[in-house]
Amino acid sequence: MGLRIRISPQTLDLLDALLERPSEWRHGYALSQSTEISSGTLYPILMRLEKLRWLETKWEEPKGGRPPRHLYRLTLQARAWAREELRNARARKVWKPSPSKA
Amino acid sequence: MPANSFSRRSPLARFNAAFTGVLLALWPEEKKSWGCAFAAESAAIDSPQKQFRWLLGGLPVVLREIFTKFLGSLGRPIGVGPADIAGNGSQQGRSPRTPRVVLALLSLTFIALLAQPQTRTVFRSVSQAYSEAGWDSSRWPDVRRLQILAEENLQQKNRDPQLLAFASLLYSDEQKRLAFADAAIHADPSLAWIDLQNAILPWDDTTKQHTLSAKRIDRMLAADPGNGILHLLRAESISIAYQRKDAQADPNANRIASWGKGALRDAGWLAAMDATFKAPYYDAYDAKLFQLSREVVQRYSVSDPRIPASVLGRRPLDQYQAIRTYADMLLSRAADAQRSGDIQSAIADCTLILDFAQHVRTANLYKLEAWMANDIESQAYPVLQSVYEGSGRSSEAIGIAARIQENRAQRAAFSSTLPHFSRRVSRPWSKAERAALFMQGSVLAIWILLPVSLASVIL
């Protein structure tokens, strides 16, 4: 990946969550709950990742009278990059997975 | 429990629904899809408390997006939207190309300038200079403020004589002018000179003008007996009746030609003029008035430049006509003395004029006095030259010839700077005139550019 972004611990947490089941589409609220990142922090990260084309997004089909929700997952290229970033961060001891995943 | 069911019941849920609508409306158009994504997530949250926390987290995101959009807009030329940039439409159009950031900085500069009280005063002065009210000093806020301060000060035990003296010059009402001048002189007798500014009153109505009372002139002379201008004021108080009579007899007569025919036969006037010419110095108190203005303006934070300008720029006494009339009389007497062979008397009269001219020139700040000195010298030198030549004192006559050349050169210099005396000569602008033009141009530019730049940044 040529372009890089500032990798904050929250970004690493989010990448870690997205890599749990990488091919699966995830909702924003579910990501917030699994990473314990507040909505005010989560969405700027999602928007940056999407702008760099590391994140695939799509709208789900409407169901049950609720508005359609936005879905997210890492692109194929981004998955490899994200794994490398997590590995590096772990090696440099600047980040570690949450206790439930460790 | 379905989300819609609690949103109909709970007040917090209803608030959340409204909050969602507000957040969605605030999201910038280009990022609206993210706003929809955020709102859709909130609709999927079952607990109103959790939903509220979710929405609260969205507020800084929205504000940040708005701010980012604003910053982005600063770099775009006026009249070009984000969509135009994206579609390259702006590159081909003929819309203006000034970036908003330039106009934003310009607006901030103007606002910073306007925050200075001095700038606002200059704006007000320049704007009012174009209206009739602008020339009426009684309507200037700082004049009114100083008058109130002076009136309050008059009631106090510890008076500020300088404030009272300066305030006396700000009234057009004669009684008030004199009352404040008296109070100032009573508190500080060294301010007796301030009465010279009241030499002829009322200064704004020429039909009722009269000179100061003899008592006040005496008070000034007692404080400064060596000053020729005070003797001139005494002479003026005598000649004013003759001037009025001359004017009534022939209103169309050339004032300088007909002026003071009666005065020339009045022993009191002749004695006063003799004292004027023989006084060791001639001081119109410009330096004292300047110092007084500066101290009062600084002490009482007067920021309106028109106030010191209006006080300093006025000559209370018409000096020229009496001086020229008396000088002409002396020269006529010198010519008579020369004809009768009384060379010493002829030289004495001419020298008296030339010495007086020197006093007038050296003691005053304004060009008017320097011009006046040059004028009477130009009359006296040829007579003195003729007296020297006629009496065989050729070396002194040659010296006077050189002074005549000098006098003419000075006169030519006056002609180039005083428009009144050479209307046909175009002269270069002075520094003050250029500064005034620059100031007025700047005010005009700010008045035009401030709303334009603000509108461009906001719209």
Average pLDDT, chain A: 87
pLDDT value for B134 = 61
Looking at per-residue pLDDT, the higher value among B178 and A102 belongs to B178
- By the 8 A CB rule, do B343 and B320 touch? no
Which residues lie closer than 8 Å to B188 by C-beta, 6 or more apart? B161, B162, B165
Q: How far are the Cα atoms of B64, B210, B276, B374, B455 from residue B326, in angstroms, in the given order?
A: 84, 21, 10, 15, 67
Q: How far are the Cα atoms of A65, B70, B92, B102, B448 from residue B99, in angstroms, in the given order?
A: 46, 13, 16, 6, 18
For B211, list phi and psi in degrees, rounded to 5. -85, 175
pLDDT value for B374 = 93
In B205-319, which ranges are continuous DSSP H helix?
214-223, 228-249, 255-258, 267-278, 286-299, 306-312
What is the rounded distance in angstroms from the CA atom of residue B162 to the CA atom of residue B296?
7
Distance from CA of A64 to the nearest CA of B (A): 9
A40–B38 CB contact, under 8 Å: no
pLDDT value for B90 = 45
Of A27, A43, A66, nearest to B61 by CB-CB distance is A43
Which residues lie closer than 8 Å to A28 by C-beta, 6 or more apart? A39, A42, A43, A46, A69, A70, A72, B37, B38, B41
Contacts of A57 in chain B (CB under 8 A): 37
Distance from CA of A13 to the nearest CA of B (A): 18
What is the rounded distance in angstroms from the CA atom of residue B438 to the CA atom of residue B225?
45
For chain B, 459 residues long, give each residue's pLDDT as a single digit of tens: 444 444 456 888 889 989 999 999 999 888 899 999 999 999 889 899 999 999 999 999 999 988 888 777 776 666 666 666 555 544 444 545 566 677 778 778 878 877 877 777 777 777 776 666 666 677 778 888 999 999 999 998 889 999 999 999 988 888 898 999 999 999 999 999 999 988 877 766 666 677 888 899 999 999 999 999 999 999 988 888 777 777 676 666 555 545 667 788 899 999 999 999 999 999 989 889 999 999 999 999 887 777 888 888 777 777 888 899 999 999 999 999 999 999 999 999 999 999 999 999 887 767 788 889 999 999 999 999 999 999 999 999 999 999 999 999 988 887 766 555 444 555 677 777 777 778 778 777 777 777 776 776 665
Closest alpha carbon within chain A to B43: A66
Contacts of B58 in chain A (CB under 8 A): 39-40, 43
State whether the Cα torsion B424-B426-B430-B436 is positive or negative: positive
A28–B37 CB contact, under 8 Å: yes
Q: Which tokens go with B454?
A: 């603000």
Check residue B281 and report its DSSP letter.
Answer: B
Cβ contacts from A onto B, under 8 A = 58
Closest alpha carbon within chain B to A36: B54
Of A40, A65, A69, nearest to B41 by CB-CB distance is A69
Of B2, B33, B45, nearest to A29 by CB-CB distance is B45
What is the rounded distance in angstroms from the CA atom of residue B60 to the CA atom of residue B388?
98
Closest alpha carbon within chain B to A29: B41
Distance from CA of A29 to the nearest CA of B (A): 6
**B131: helix, strand or coil:** coil
Of B34, B58, B60, nearest to A47 by CB-CB distance is B34
By the CB < 8 Å criterion, does A27 face chain B?
yes
pLDDT value for B436 = 74
Contacts of B37 in chain A (CB under 8 A): 28, 57, 69-70
Closest alpha carbon within chain A to B55: A39
Closest alpha carbon within chain B to A71: B37
What is the rounded distance in angstroms from the CA atom of residue B338 to the CA atom of residue B327?
16
Distance from CA of B105 to the nearest CA of A (A): 29
B44–A69 CB contact, under 8 Å: yes
Torsion of CA B384, B386, B391, B394, to 10 degrees: 90
Q: How far are the Cα atoms of B184, B233, B417 from residue B358, in angstroms, in the given order?
A: 32, 19, 21
To the question of pTM greater than 0.90 for the whole model, the response is no
By the CB < 8 Å criterion, does A34 face chain B?
no
Contacts of A67 in chain B (CB under 8 A): 36, 39-40, 43
- By the 8 A CB rule, do B323 and B376 touch? yes
Closest alpha carbon within chain B to A32: B54
A70–B64 CB contact, under 8 Å: no
Closest alpha carbon within chain A to B31: A47
For tokens 């203005």, the residue is B293
Interface subset of A 56-75, CB within 8 angstroms of B: 57, 64-70
Please tell me the number of Cα atoms within 13 Å of A43 on its side-chain side.
Answer: 29
By the CB < 8 Å criterion, does A41 face chain B?
yes
Contacts of A69 in chain B (CB under 8 A): 37, 40-41, 44
**A30: helix, strand or coil:** helix
A43–B40 CB contact, under 8 Å: no
For A55, list phi and psi in degrees, rounded to 5. -120, 130
Q: Which tokens go with A19?
A: 């890599």
A66–B58 CB contact, under 8 Å: no
Q: Which tokens go with A30?
A: 């579910």
Residue type, A77: Q
ipTM score of the complex? 0.91
What does the angle CA B293 – CA B296 – CA B299 come to, to the nearest 5 degrees? 145
